A and B are shown apart, each in its own frame.
Chain A
Amino acid sequence: MSLLKLTDLHKSFGAVKVLRGVNLEVAAGEVIGLVGDNGAGKSTLMKTITGVYPVDDGMVRFDDEDVTHLNPGERRARGIEMIYQDLALAGQQDVANNIFLGREPTKRLWGILPSFVDKARIDSEAQKMIDRLGVRIPSIHLPVGMLSGGQQQTIAIARALTFQPKLVIMDEPTAALAVREVQSVLDLIEQMRSEGIAVILISHRLNDVFEACGRIVVLRQGSVIADLNKKETNMNEVVSYIVGAHG
């Protein structure tokens, strides 16, 4: 039984057909690599899963529910998280607030005033999550704009993991990182898999894809042209699918 099921997704921007009938299934605890050339439709496909883009046609099923017409907030509440390439962090807000952005826990202040953001709880849970990921951040009270790329990447991951997601989509999580930081991201993906979280990893770095993923899906010109088991393929074959040279 699959966790995520995409059926015949179509999406156009004006005259440009970006997705032309995408079918894909992802099971719980499965790590799949989504690869393809620039303009193949990877980012668009991911945004139709998170709900940022409504689809023109087709269906998105998640956890035995049709989520096609739900907005990003509703899908996030059901366990679909995405870590964007640009990280989607609010640079002037502090680390803890970024982790809880859009889902701030509230309480009643002095038992009376409603909707009081529970900053103490945000801080303590954010600290716990940072500790659990085993990363060093000088302070959770710093604005994220003052942190390094690797540290910001970690905060984006921490935000995705804080609310027990079932599916995490990562868009180029290793592209801007130093070698040591790349390994820690790959370790985190393995940790997620072992906890039963499904991961879709979008990456141009095939080395990372082969290390982290069990299955590799190639997108070309808006449709899935190959769905490969890592053990039965190799890098040359994947590259030939990506560039459209596979016979």
Chain B
Amino acid sequence: MKLASLLARAHVRAESLAVLIALSAVMAIISPVFLSFGNLFNIILATATYGILAIGATFVISAAGIDLSLGSVLGLASVTGAFLVVNLGLPWPFAIVGCLAAGLAAGAVNGLIIVRGRVPAFIVTLGMLGIARGLALIISSGRGIYGLPEEILFLGQARPFGVPTPVYVLIVVALVAHYILAHTPFGAHTLALGDNEAAARATGIDVRRQRLMLYSLSGLMAGLAGLIFTARVNTGDPTAGLNYELLAITAAIIGGTNLFGGRGSILGTMIGALIMGVLQNGLNLMAVQAYYQQMAIGIVLIAAVWLDQIRSRGRI
């Protein structure tokens, strides 16, 4: 029982953790290399990119919104940062600024159109999915931009104290995001907005501003994920992050975020992202074709929402 209350305090669902442990146990039995240090790092390294995206997804979905453009914005950020440094020859910090600014800008445009134009988030971000991907291909002429400076590669490939840099980035970002969602007024207003928008407005919460900030934040996370991705593969890749919105949204949902808003937890999402990572890694180790992995993730997403529906029908 002590564990249960500890999990509740950390806003983590016991079921998600149980699934992660069970899945890991199964993989460990099937594949002897699963539990090796090298492989565990592989999992976390792979998790880092879409784990950051999933943090953005968690904020937006907690507020009963959706951001389908996450993966495309990641790609746009990747080529923007690389283009500034490699093609224009600007100093290395511009890769960071470029990635983050491109992500933030795309998110802010999403938010502005949703708030000002009252266009459903589903449509706006679906449109942005196409726009950002197209823009990424235009900027890069459809080719990868190679040859980033050492300082940027450090963010993706270095291993300070034996741990890959992206893992540090993910942990820091996740802790800050957890603090914001679970312990600040901004987080409380996000959950209230997703729970009952009329109530949020009635208590004086500026819901338009809140929405704008949430979509901007989501874009910024996509920009950061784009930066990490670019640094890891040493490429500004216009196809980076293809279908990552599927991974990010699934990680958030199986981590316990309510698709209809009002409930969400960053630590839960991190467990969700790890479940996705373990699942993909395990399927890789079992030499299952990548095509089947796509299917598996889709099935997990639908099953997670389905289970949540069954559960909530039993309650409120």
Give me the interface of A with B, judged by CB distance under 8 Å.
Answer: 50, 52, 71-74, 76-77, 82, 84, 86-93, 97, 101-104, 106, 109, 113, 115-117, 119, 143, 145-146, 159
Contact = CB atoms under 8 A, between A and B. Distances in A.
A101 B190 CA distance: 11
Given A72-B201, A73-B204, A104-B185, A93 B316 contact: no
Interface string B163-179: 00000000000000001
B309 interface: no
Contacts of A86: 198
A88 B191 contact: no
Given A93-B192, A102-B189, A73 B205 contact: yes
B308 interface: no
A71 B206 contact: yes
Contacts of A50: 202
A45 to B, nearest CB: 16
B199 interface: yes
A82 B183 contact: no
The 6 closest A-B pairs by CB, nearest first: A73-B204, A102-B203, A90-B195, A88-B199, A92-B262, A88-B202
Interface of B is mostly: helix
Interface in B187-228: 187-189, 191-192, 195-196, 198-206
Interface in B240-288: 258, 262-263
B262 A106 contact: no
A91 B195 contact: yes
B192 A101 contact: yes
Contacts of B185: 104, 106, 115, 117
Contact of B262 (A90, A101, A102, A119): A90
A91 B316 CA distance: 9
B116 interface: no
Interface in B114-142: none
Contacts of B262: 90-93
A77 B179 CA distance: 27
B206 A116 contact: no
Contact of B186 (A89, A113, A115): A115
Nearest to A77: B204
B62 to A, nearest CB: 10
Nearest to B261: A92
